[in-house]
Chain A
Amino acid sequence: MTFMRRQLPIIIAFVLGVFTFIIFFIPSAASQEAGLTLDSWVAIISAFAMVLGINSILGQHIERVGKRRPGYGYSWVLILSFVAMTIAWIPWWRAPELGAPVTSYYPWGGLENTTGVFSWMFFNMMVPMQATVFSILAFYIASAAYRSFRAKSSQALVLLVAAVLVMLGRVPLGTSLTGWISPESTFAWLRLENITGWLLNVPNAAGFRGIVLGVGLGIIATSVRIIFGIEKTYMGGGD
């Protein structure tokens, strides 16, 4: 069984890794067709990974409810929401054809049924709740800006000045503060939108380019390690 658990995954990763790498550079119809088939397989396998994810999150919350751990009430909310949306999503009856008039109320099915319960739950519960959670960030940022954004060193002062300029330069009220400077004048560079553009275009882009190059090199190195069986953590266990 050790072969199935340890050697076989490494062999599959090596063969498919090298094969995918080679066909990427061969523009023939046969290699493109092989690549397309592999891509379809990857998409299907990824869908199974989502099933594993659902199983994992439900398992954790069921366990928390079972052991009455702190905050288990929230786990109930997750479990009941999951069950409710799953039942609502199942197409118990056949949906009418797209564009055909909906002659009778038909509550089940996915988002394709715009009058169904699932669609109602999605647009009237899930969308506003997710948007609200993200919007609450504005309040946290306000508190953090007041509490923590301190010019304690020269570097922090540079960051602070840049942040203030970009924050003002990215909104109409901010840019209107320097709107009196003519875009054709010698001092046009002092307009807030131009200062913001320079900050984004020069120091920011330089920094991010370095990060992106580093990430790219990291991805290549990790891929090579996986293909040649040096990196095995993706198999889990650690034994």
Chain B
Amino acid sequence: MHVRPVERAVLYILIALGVFLPLIFPFDRWPNLPTPEVEAVYNTIENLQSGDTIMVAVDFDPSSEPELYPMLLAVMRHAFSKDLYVLGVCLFNPAGAGLGMTAFTTVGDEFGKVNGTDYVFLGYKPNMVAVVRGMNQNIGRMFTVDAFGRSTRGMPIIQRTPRLRGGIKYLVDLAAGETVRPWVAYGSTPGGYPMGAGCTAVSFADYFSFYQSGQINGLMGGLKAAAEYEELVHMKGAASAGMNSQSIVHVLLVIFILLGNFLYVQSKLAERRPKGEAR
């Protein structure tokens, strides 16, 4: 069906208003109940002991930043509030390294953590499969320097956790692309550590089968999951603020679909009607 320019303009204006108005005039109307798959990630981190180490993979770039960056901040805040050591890496896109560096230092500073001792962000390296396999055996060999260009040799957190296998208690992969699969196949399964994942809403359905099979023990999909995690850690942020917009836009999309189908059925009925009757 052809959409007239006026119709398209109305659709776009409604979507824009649906996004902007709840952000300009925030309200707390609809409860965002945590789903079991998000609670699973939260509970795994919650049940770790102070002093345990986890790995957070920042496998997204700025195009997925609105959905996954709030998720990253929420997970980091939870980990640091539990006094966990956190290793960070980016194996998806070099642009993701900048986001990881900012998130780690921002949340690290919030909790008074020391870069290189309590956490480290190792930065980006190409060829994910080789890097994951290598990190399972020796992190310092795969990353001789961290994202800030400092040598990892003698870095306290790398001395505490020289390899992922047997070194970390949990891995969270925040993925914009096809990184969960290699982490499962070459990281968590041979390394013997549990893994959870976060992804964009679009990828949520793709990764659900991994959650169902138990290859990942938790799954956070899109902004909604980020908002749920913020609720769980009692630190509301950008994700919670965006949920009203997302709710309204989803309902608008449903209305557009129903309206489009209503017009479609109407046009089909008009085609079937005898011409004289139509007049």
Contacts and interface: CB of A to CB of B under 8 A. Distances in A.
Given A39-B130, A163-B257, A173-B250, A200 B208 contact: yes
B260 A130 contact: no
A168 interface: yes
A134 B209 contact: no
Contacts of A153: none
A111 B212 contact: no
A174 B247 contact: yes
Interface in A134-179: 134-135, 138-139, 141-143, 145-152, 160, 163-164, 167-168, 170-176, 179
Nearest to B254: A164
A46 B126 contact: yes
Interface in A197-231: 197, 200-201, 204-205, 208-209, 212
B31 interface: yes
Q: How large is the interface on A (under 10, 10 to 19, 20 to 34, 35 or more residues)?
A: 35 or more
A67 B55 CA distance: 49
Interface of B: 1-3, 7-8, 11-12, 14-16, 19, 30-33, 35, 61-66, 95, 97-99, 101-102, 115-116, 125-127, 129-131, 133-134, 137-138, 141-142, 147-150, 181, 201, 204-206, 208-209, 212-213, 221-222, 224, 243-244, 246-254, 256-261, 264
B212 A36 contact: no
A146 B65 CA distance: 27
Contacts of A128: 62
Question: 3 shortest A-B CB distances, which residue pairs?
Answer: A173-B247, A46-B127, A172-B30
Given A131-B63, A131-B66, A172-B32, A147 B252 contact: no
Q: Decide if the interface of chain B is mainly helix, strand, loop or mixed.
A: helix
Q: Decide if the interface of chain A is mainly helix, strand, loop or mixed.
A: helix
Interface of A: 32, 35-36, 38-40, 42-43, 45-47, 49-50, 95, 98-99, 110-112, 119, 122-123, 126-131, 133-135, 138-139, 141-143, 145-152, 160, 163-164, 167-168, 170-176, 179, 193, 197, 200-201, 204-205, 208-209, 212
A145 to B, nearest CB: 5
B251 A208 contact: no
Contacts of A145: 253, 256-257, 260
Nearest to B133: A39
A67 to B, nearest CB: 30
B142 A39 contact: yes
Contacts of A175: 30, 33
B19 A47 contact: no
Contacts of A122: 95, 98
A179 to B, nearest CB: 8
Contact of A193 (B33, B206, B243): B33
A139 B115 CA distance: 41
Contacts of B7: 146
Given A111-B101, A146-B7, A201 B65 contact: no
B252 A32 contact: no
Given A32-B137, A145-B260, A201-B212, A43 B66 contact: no
Contacts of B224: 170-172
A99 B32 CA distance: 39
Given A40-B142, A171-B247, A127 B3 contact: no
B260 A147 contact: yes
Given A36-B134, A99-B115, A127-B65, A138 B3 contact: no
Contacts of A212: 181, 209
B240 to A, nearest CB: 10
A167 B62 contact: no
B105 to A, nearest CB: 8
Given A143-B8, A145-B256, A43 B131 contact: yes
B146 to A, nearest CB: 9
A146 B208 contact: no
Contacts of A151: 261, 264
B127 A42 contact: yes
A130 B261 CA distance: 33
